[in-house]
């Protein structure tokens, strides 16, 4: 969407956005009620504000049709539920950016599609592994690979080494090769005695992708290209269900642009 269109939308909703985010107490009430209906005492214990302040904010939220009241219990309305979901996603996303600022500043994010960038909070609880693979990090990588049954990836020659003695024993292996490294990767796969079978499939994509991705049933590993002035390359690795789902969506995004190979 063009910036002018976003500006127009922003003008339409900026007052509603400010209404929620400019008040700590209103934002906290909405987040708290996402768990379900609550009484004033419950909100007071969670929000840590005076009852009078909470009641005043509740009245404002009720006027905006974001909450409803039944007897002494307060709940989110249908639109309140939607607003709470957006607010919580935004809080989680900004937290992920802030807590890992150095990682994002030193890596190029342009190969992540826009819709997945909007769900970047799905990558919470990740660990960072240095690319100069130490004995301990290599051991961790091999251990994670050995416990999975399915491996999907967008790969380069950099990650085709001893780990693929483990990979070769997997039930399902699906790799996308970028145009700039496909020949090198194929040669390394042949060296590992890997060939196309019912369970091992390769695709080639025309784009010269620089990201590396490994998605399994147990973990997701992402390597983004470093920014030009930075030599440090790190792997983002996560074992959460949401991050694995996010990684599968990234894989499928590029798979839709790739063509199948035979070797």
- Secondary structure of 75-137 as H, E, C letters: EECHHHHHHHHHHHHHHHHHHHHHHCHHHHHCECCCCCCHHHHCCHHHHCCCEEEECCCCHHH
Residue 103 dihedral angles phi and psi, to the nearest 5°: -60, -50
pLDDT tens figures, 28-59: 999 999 999 999 999 999 988 888 999 999 99
Q: What percent of the chain has pLDDT over 90?
A: 34
pLDDT tens figures, 113-135: 999 998 888 987 888 876 554 44
CA distance 240 to 139: 20
Q: Where is pLDDT greater, at 214 or 235?
A: 214
61 pLDDT exceeds 80?
A: yes
Residue 25 dihedral angles phi and psi, to the nearest 5°: -70, -40
pTM of the model: 0.79
Interior/surface letters 186-198, b for 16+ CB within 10 angstroms, e for the rest = bebbeebebeeee
Contact call for residues 26 and 57 (beta carbons, < 8 A): yes
Domain ranges for the chain, please list them. 3-92, 102-261
CA distance 32 to 47: 8
CA distance 109 to 50: 44
158 pLDDT exceeds 50?
A: no
CA distance 190 to 171: 18
Which of the four pLDDT bands, split at 50, 70 and 90, describes residue 78?
Answer: very high
Which of the four pLDDT bands, split at 50, 70 and 90, describes residue 104?
Answer: confident
- Once rounded to an integer, what is the mean pLDDT over residues 140-162? 68
CA distances from 127 to 151, 200, 237 (A): 19, 29, 5
CA distances from 194 to 123, 167, 177, 218, 246 (A): 31, 10, 15, 22, 28
CATH number of 102-261: 3.30.870.10
- Once rounded to an integer, what is the mean pLDDT over residues 218-234? 78
pLDDT tens figures, 79-101: 999 999 999 999 988 988 888 88
Distance of CA 156 to the CA centre of its chain: 21
- Whether 3-92 and 102-261 share one fold: the answer is no
CA distances from 124 to 28, 89, 149, 212, 238 (A): 21, 11, 24, 19, 8
Query: Which token pair is 256?
Result: 């839709």
Which of the four pLDDT bands, split at 50, 70 and 90, describes residue 160?
Answer: very low
CATH class of 3-92: mainly alpha
Q: What is the mean pLDDT of the chain?
A: 82
- Once rounded to an integer, what is the mean pLDDT over residues 125-147? 65
Helix axes 51-63, 24-33, angle to 10 degrees: 80
188 pLDDT exceeds 80?
A: no
Question: How confident is the model at residue 135, as a pLDDT?
Answer: 47
């Amino acid at each position: 969407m063009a910036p002018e269109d976003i500006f127009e939308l922003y003008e339409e909703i900026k007052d509603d956005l400010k209404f929620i985010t400019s008040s700590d107490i209103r934002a906290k009430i909405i987040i708290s009620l996402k768990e379900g209906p609550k009484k004033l005492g419950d909100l007071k214990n969670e929000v840590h504000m005076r009852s009078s302040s909470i009641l005043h904010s509740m009245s404002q939220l009720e006027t905006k049709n974001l909450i409803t009241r039944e007897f002494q219990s307060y709940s989110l309305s249908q639109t309140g539920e939607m607003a709470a979901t957006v607010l919580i996603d935004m809080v989680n996303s900004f937290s992920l950016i802030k807590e890992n600022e150095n990682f994002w500043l030193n890596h190029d994010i342009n190969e992540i599609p826009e819709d997945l960038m909007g769900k970047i909070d799905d990558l919470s609880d990740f660990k960072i592994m240095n690319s100069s693979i130490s004995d301990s990090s290599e051991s961790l990588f091999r251990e994670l690979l050995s416990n999975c049954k399915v491996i999907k990836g967008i790969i380069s020659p950099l990650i085709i080494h001893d780990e693929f003695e483990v990979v070769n024993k997997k039930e399902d292996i699906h790799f996308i090769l970028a145009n700039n490294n496909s020949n090198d990767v194929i040669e390394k796969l042949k060296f590992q005695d890997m060939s196309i079978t019912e369970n091992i499939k390769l695709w080639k994509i025309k784009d010269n992708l620089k990201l590396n991705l490994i998605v399994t049933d147990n973990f997701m590993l992402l390597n983004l290209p470093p920014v030009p002035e930075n030599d440090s390359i790190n792997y983002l690795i996560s074992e959460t269900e949401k991050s694995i789902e996010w990684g599968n969506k990234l894989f499928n995004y590029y798979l839709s642009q790739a063509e199948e190979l035979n070797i």
